[in-house]
């Protein structure tokens, strides 16, 4: 079977919408490979091409039919010391928790053809593909077929939902059930009540962002002075993509909230992946002033119960990170791989 590759600028995504929507239904795809998600990236995140780099979609065709769409950020020459030339996945350093090519089913021959074509066209040997989930065929194929220079893995957490509310409560550990009781008892003792809204269309999104930034700032202050210094040096020279936030910029974005005394005390930004029957958690935040009441856990517990009751979605994907609340709520660990490989 003959293969061919066509490269189009990332800003021309609309030219391939029909093929993209056909491929994004593949079993290994996630919300972050969807056409609509990349539409947001194109609008808010993709920088203008320069002599140093360019953003392209590589379209691999099999008998003139697109079988792979590869979102690529090509660094053509080293710049700012630490930005090394090579082939990266477009979406790195963003809210895209899982990166991948877009395909309905993985075609190893099409993949090989593309890698070789990129190597020849751009004269690049190094491929740095980050945040590919361990369950993707593509990561298994790379590790068995190419020269691996570096590979690291980072935790993600997901929750496979039982079919009943009782089944979910039985899934929770004794410690988790005690945490929920303690949080409710503290509210009662202090004469407070919590209000849950699983789809708050009137939420102040700017306030959500401020709560999230405050939490990140607290986490940063806990880091050692040596690590802070190293971060500042690296941050000075690394490439900074344009800033955006799905909570304000993604059309499929929803927000669930918990309030106490009409004050926002916790939120989760999420989206529905209807094709794969998953709820995807994009970001979260807790107002530190209300942390003793565990409002985030109470909020997510209520959302999980409602999701089970609706009986459509089979999984809550908590995405990247191994925060404690994800395990309290019954989540299990899987991994993303970031792999650096060479064609020589």
Please answer whether residues 211 and 267 qualify as being in contact, where contact means their C-beta atoms are separated by less than 8 angstroms: yes
Q: What pLDDT does 29 receive? A: 98
Band of residue 214 on the pLDDT scale cut at 50, 70, 90? confident
163-176 residue pLDDT tens: 999 999 999 999 99
Backbone phi and psi for residue 283, each to the nearest 5 degrees, phi listed first: -155, 165
Give the range among 222-231, 240-249, 255-264 with minimum mean pLDDT.
222-231
**Sign of the Cα pseudo-torsion (25, 7, 338, 222, in order):** negative
Phi-psi category of residue 81: left, alpha or beta, with phi > 0 → left and psi -120 to 50 → alpha:
left
Query: 181 versus 218: which is more confidently predicted?
Result: 181
Q: Are residues 177 and 133 in the same domain?
A: no
Task: Give how many domains the chain has, as a whole number.
Answer: 2
Q: Are residues 191 and 219 in the same domain?
A: yes
Helices (H), the chain: 17-23, 35-44, 108-122, 137-145, 165-171, 174-189, 205-221, 225-237, 246-249, 295-310, 324-328
Band of residue 220 on the pLDDT scale cut at 50, 70, 90? low
Q: Are residues 125 and 225 in the same domain?
A: no
Band of residue 227 on the pLDDT scale cut at 50, 70, 90? confident
275-285 residue pLDDT tens: 999 999 999 99
CATH at 324: 3.40.630.30
Query: Coil, strand or helix: which one is 324?
Result: helix
The DSSP letter of residue 63 is: T
Query: What integer is the mean pLDDT of 125-141?
Result: 96
- Between CA 144 and CA 112 the distance in angstroms is 13
Between β-strands 315-320 and 278-286, what pairing exists: parallel, antiparallel or unpaired? parallel
Query: What integer is the mean pLDDT of 257-272?
Result: 97
- Between CA 94 and CA 193 the distance in angstroms is 36
* pLDDT exceeds 90 at position 226: no
CATH at 128: 3.40.630
Q: What pLDDT does 1 receive? A: 65
Report how far apart, in Å, the C-alpha atoms of 198 and of each of 20, 47, 270 are: 30, 34, 10
Structural domain span for residue 259: 158-335
Contacts 24+ apart (CB under 8 A), 180-186: 180/294, 180/297, 180/298, 180/301, 182/294, 183/293, 183/294, 183/295, 183/297, 183/298, 184/298, 186/292, 186/293
Q: Are residues 109 and 252 in the same domain?
A: no
Query: Coil, strand or helix: which one is 3?
Result: strand
Q: Are residues 149 and 191 in the same domain?
A: no
Q: What pLDDT does 194 receive? A: 97
Q: Are residues 134 and 230 in the same domain?
A: no
- Between CA 316 and CA 245 the distance in angstroms is 21
Query: What integer is the mean pLDDT of 114-127?
Result: 97
Structure tokens given for 339? 């792999």
30-86 residue pLDDT tens: 999 999 999 999 999 999 999 999 999 999 999 999 999 999 999 999 998 899 999
Q: Are residues 176 and 307 in the same domain?
A: yes
- Give Cα 142 to chain centroid, integer Å: 21
Q: What pLDDT does 234 receive? A: 87
Q: Are residues 193 and 297 in the same domain?
A: yes
Q: What pLDDT does 263 receive? A: 96
Q: Are residues 38 and 77 in the same domain?
A: yes
The per-residue pLDDT of the chain, averaged, comes to 95
Q: Are residues 255 and 209 in the same domain?
A: yes
Contacts 24+ apart (CB under 8 A), 229-233: none
Q: Are residues 173 and 306 in the same domain?
A: yes
- Angle at alpha carbon of residue 255, lines to 253 and 257, rounded to 5°: 175
Q: What pLDDT does 132 receive? A: 97
- Kindly state the percentage of the chain with pLDDT values over 70: 99
Band of residue 329 on the pLDDT scale cut at 50, 70, 90? very high
Query: Coil, strand or helix: which one is 268?
Result: strand
From the list 335, 187, 331, 170, the residue with the least C-alpha distance to 266 is 187
pTM: 0.94
Band of residue 231 on the pLDDT scale cut at 50, 70, 90? confident
295-327 residue pLDDT tens: 999 999 999 999 999 999 999 999 999 999 999
Q: Are residues 146 and 184 in the same domain?
A: no
């Amino acid at each position: 079977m003959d293969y061919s590759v066509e490269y189009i600028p990332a800003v021309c995504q609309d030219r391939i919408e029909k093929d993209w929507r056909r491929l994004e239904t593949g079993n290994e795809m996630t919300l972050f490979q969807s056409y609509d998600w990349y539409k947001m990236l194109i609008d808010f995140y993709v920088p203008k091409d320069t002599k140093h780099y360019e953003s392209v979609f590589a379209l691999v065709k099999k008998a003139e039919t697109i079988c792979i769409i590869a979102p690529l950020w090509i660094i053509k020459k080293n710049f700012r010391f630490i930005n090394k030339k090579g082939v990266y996945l477009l979406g790195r350093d963003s809210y895209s928790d899982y990166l991948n090519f877009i395909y309905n089913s993985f075609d190893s021959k099409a993949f090989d053809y593309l890698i070789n074509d990129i190597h020849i066209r751009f004269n690049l040997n190094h491929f740095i593909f980050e945040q590919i989930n361990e369950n993707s065929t593509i990561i298994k194929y790379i590790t068995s077929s190419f020269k691996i220079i570096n590979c690291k893995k980072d935790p993600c957490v997901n929750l496979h939902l039982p079919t009943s509310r009782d089944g979910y409560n039985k899934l929770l550990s004794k410690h988790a059930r005690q945490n929920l009781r303690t949080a409710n008892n503290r509210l009662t003792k202090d004469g407070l009540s919590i209000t849950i809204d699983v789809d708050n269309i009137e939420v102040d999104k700017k306030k959500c962002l401020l709560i999230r930034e405050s939490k990140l700032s607290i986490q940063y202050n806990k880091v050692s002075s040596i690590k802070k210094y190293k971060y500042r040096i690296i941050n000075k020279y690394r490439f900074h993509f344009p800033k955006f936030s799905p909570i304000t910029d993604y059309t499929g974005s929803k927000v669930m909230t918990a309030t106490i005394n009409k004050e926002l005390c916790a939120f989760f930004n999420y989206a529905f992946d209807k094709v794969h029957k998953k709820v995807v958690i994009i970001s979260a935040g807790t107002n530190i002033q209300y942390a003793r009441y565990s409002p985030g856990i109470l909020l997510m517990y209520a959302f999980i119960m409602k999701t089970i009751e609706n009986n459509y979605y089979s999984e809550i994907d908590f995405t990247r990170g191994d925060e404690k609340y994800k395990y309290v709520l019954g989540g299990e660990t899987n991994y993303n791989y970031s792999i650096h490989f060479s064609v020589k």
